[in-house]
Homo-oligomer: A and B are copies of this chain.
Amino acid sequence: MKNVKLKVNQVAELTGVSVRTLHHYDAIGLLSPERTEDSNYRLYGEMDLYRLQQILLYREFDMPLIQIKELLDAPDYDRIEELLKHRNQLEERKSRLNTLLNTIDKTISHLQHKTRMKTPKELYEGFPAELGTTYRKEAIKRFGKTEVEQSEQQLMNRGKDGVQALVDKLASVHRKLKNVEELRPNHEVVQEYIHEHHQLILAFWGTTENRWEAYAGLANTYVTDTRFNLTGEGYDKPFAEFLREAIAVYIKDKTANNP
| Interface range on chain A (Cβ under 8 Å from partner) | 35 or more
Q: Is the CB of B101 within 8 A of A91?
A: yes
A143, CB-defined interface residue at 8 Å: no
A90, CB-defined interface residue at 8 Å: yes
Q: Is the interface of A mostly helix, strand, loop or mixed?
A: helix
Q: Which of A23-31, A107-115, A217-225, A250-258 contacts B (4 or more CB under 8 A)?
A: A107-115
Q: Is the CB of A83 within 8 A of B111?
A: yes
A76, CB-defined interface residue at 8 Å: yes
Cα-based distance from A156 to B170 in the complex (angstroms): 76
Which chain B residues border A103 with CB–CB below 8 Å?
60-61
A178, CB-defined interface residue at 8 Å: no
A198, CB-defined interface residue at 8 Å: no
Q: Is the CB of B108 within 8 A of A77?
A: no
Given A61-B103, A98-B94, A76–B115 Cβ distance below 8 Å? Answer: yes
